[in-house]
Amino acid sequence: MIVKLAILSVLLLALFLLPVDQSPLLAQESTDVRGQVANGTEGAEIPGDLNMLMLITGADGVLSGTGQTTPDAQGRFVFEDVPVRDGDTYTISVDHLGVFYGTTLDRSGLSEDIEVTVFETTRDASIIEF
């Protein structure tokens, strides 16, 4: 009797676990997001100590993901396996000398190479052009 009850318990547990469809969780689309950091200051090189950040915001305005990567010596960067969902926005930014530079994209912009331009800071107002 105890053996039959144990077998019945195992079978019932298996019945509850088998019908669970986990395919939506496993089938989430993802992509690699690629780009380039450029230095917009004439004669300046691409800084070597940059950290690129990505914030993914859902359609409801709630933060749904983050990412971090470092550009190579030529300024190229890649965020790998970024989840792609309709309605999400993707903000890519970098802090250079205390100033944040970046861009915000939707799903359609993820397939393009992204360029983020940084500038050197100065206190010389004479270089400002209008």
> Which residue segment(s) compose the domain that 68 sits in?
30-119
- What is the phi/psi pair of residue 86, to 5°? -60, 140
21 assigned to some structural domain: no
Share above pLDDT 70 across residues of the chain, in percent, rounded to a whole number: 79
Q: What is the pLDDT of residue 21?
A: 42
17 assigned to some structural domain: no
Residue-wise pLDDT for 39-98, tens only, equals 999 899 998 889 999 999 999 999 999 999 999 999 999 999 999 999 999 999 999 999
In the chain, the number of structural domains is: 1
What is this structure's pTM?
A: 0.73
**How many CB atoms are located within 10 Å of the residue 54 CB?**
19
CATH at 78: 2.60.40.10
Inform me whether the pLDDT recorded for 11 exceeds 70. Answer: no
User: How many angstroms separate the Cα of 65 from the Cα of each of 18, 34, 54, 122?
Assistant: 30, 17, 8, 34
16 vs 42, more confident: 42
Q: What is the pLDDT of residue 33?
A: 97
H and E: helices and strands count for the chain? 2, 7
Nearest to 75 by CA among 111, 39, 25: 39
Q: What is the pLDDT of residue 7?
A: 53
57 assigned to some structural domain: yes
pLDDT grade for 1, boundaries at 50, 70 and 90 = low
pLDDT grade for 22, boundaries at 50, 70 and 90 = very low
96 assigned to some structural domain: yes
Q: What is the pLDDT of residue 55?
A: 97
Out of 21-25, 37-41, 74-78, 113-117, which region has the weakest mean confidence (pLDDT)?
21-25
